[in-house]
Structure 1
């Protein structure tokens, strides 16, 4: 996300009234001094205030905890794939839950020259089906080598709020929509129905001083299954 933007624009010549007192000259007043403590920002203010955090989202959800919660890995090549996708789905959501392997099926090649065999696999998390794009690239003894990325996603509100707080800057407040505890992302990398916002500011003494406004981002997941904030138009 973009960091806080504070721009101070001062004209080359500024005409100000000067008050003479005791033979001295007062310093010219400026409208671009210290930023106001509680400014009113343009745009709709979303309801949930985000608190800053030092740790990444769902930092307590370790690989060991996830692995302990999953069913044992099967012996087949696709069993290894499905097991890894269940783990990745839990990590994406940001909380342990009822996660179950779906199906993996071969799909037509859409990226000639990339190599490997393309598959479409599904995982169900708390009743929500998550689709993954998988490419088997080979085997190494009993291990299967493959790459994967989400086609759809699943997120918890907690994961989103913590992701926003992790990248929150002290001078740039964040707020978000009130989101359901668990929701589906219809398409990875594309805006979902929920938004967060970041406050920006600038000062231009030619235009009367400080201006504050909200800029909005739609919640999504990226190609690694992490929370993504997709920039959207200011409202």
Structure 2
């Protein structure tokens, strides 16, 4: 019997649930002035003014994938389906995917790593699977992402609106590619910002953007002069 886990870097990949997105927080966001946007600080070019209807839900996640393999299908097909599912979950937006493994088949030999690739809207995301030594009748294995994730501009803009629109009426982000391969859990270099009225003076607060196993994650708010 095969027993597997799916790892993104070192974190277990979890299923996206309806209405849930990245794990950022707006706890540090103070209420902004309700009039004009801040005049001081660098204003990012993309205004975030409404919700993104295309953000991923359980239904749209499954709708973006082929039917889940059955018990009659080859084990490799089950592995590739799981990799595609986890990749779409990271992207946060439904996209076209395909997947292959080197040699066309997953090796079940203990200690042997099979490298696979999921293509999401043209971006190639590397994965691998390795079986450990059997434990009785059990054949444990791990599906692992190599530490790279998919960032989508729509997911960033949509999640920023969802997480910060109650804290500020003025939201902006930098321009970013429609789809981009980034380091998982690391600062992507992209920024979003919200208006905050600190000490009665409106100012922009910059927020770091990263991508984790569940999608977009926003870092703590930083002062306008911070990178």
Same fold by TM-score, threshold 0.5 exceeded?
yes
Pairwise CA distance, 1:35: 4.5
Q: Give the whole-Å Cα distance in 1 for the aligned partners of 2:81 and 2:209.
A: 27
- Counterpart for residue 96 of structure 1: 95
> SS of the residue aligned with 2:64?
helix
> 1:156 pairs with 134, 152, 160, which one?
152
Contact 1:193 1:218 in 2 (8 A): yes
Pairwise CA distance, 1:176: 0.6
What is the TM-score normalised by the length of structure 2?
A: 0.63
Contact 1:175 1:196 in 2 (8 A): yes
- Counterpart for residue 234 of structure 1: 226
Residue 202 of structure 2 corresponds to residue 212 of structure 1: yes
**1:162-185 deviations in Å (ceiling 9; x for gaps):** 111111233423211122222221
What is the TM-score normalised by the length of structure 1?
A: 0.61
> 1:127 pairs with 103, 122, 137, which one?
122
Contact 1:50 1:161 in 2 (8 A): yes
Task: Supply the RMSD in Å over aligned alpha carbons.
Answer: 4.0
Change (3 A) 1:66 1:146: farther
Change (3 A) 1:181 1:217: same
- Counterpart for residue 80 of structure 1: 78
Contact 1:131 1:150 in 2 (8 A): yes
The answer for unaligned runs of 5 or more in structure 1 is 8-33, 107-115, 204-209
Q: Give the whole-Å Cα distance in 2 for the aligned partners of 1:103 and 1:74.
A: 19
Contact 1:5 1:202 in 2 (8 A): no
Q: Give the whole-Å Cα distance in 2 for the aligned partners of 1:119 and 1:159.
A: 30
Aligned counterparts, 1:6-17, within 5 A:
6=30
Contact 1:175 1:197 in 2 (8 A): yes
Change (3 A) 1:193 1:102: farther
- Counterpart for residue 27 of structure 2: 3
Contact 1:56 1:166 in 2 (8 A): no
The answer for unaligned runs of 5 or more in structure 2 is 1-24
Question: Paired residues, what number?
Answer: 190
> 1:47 pairs with 34, 45, 48, which one?
45
Change (3 A) 1:191 1:104: farther
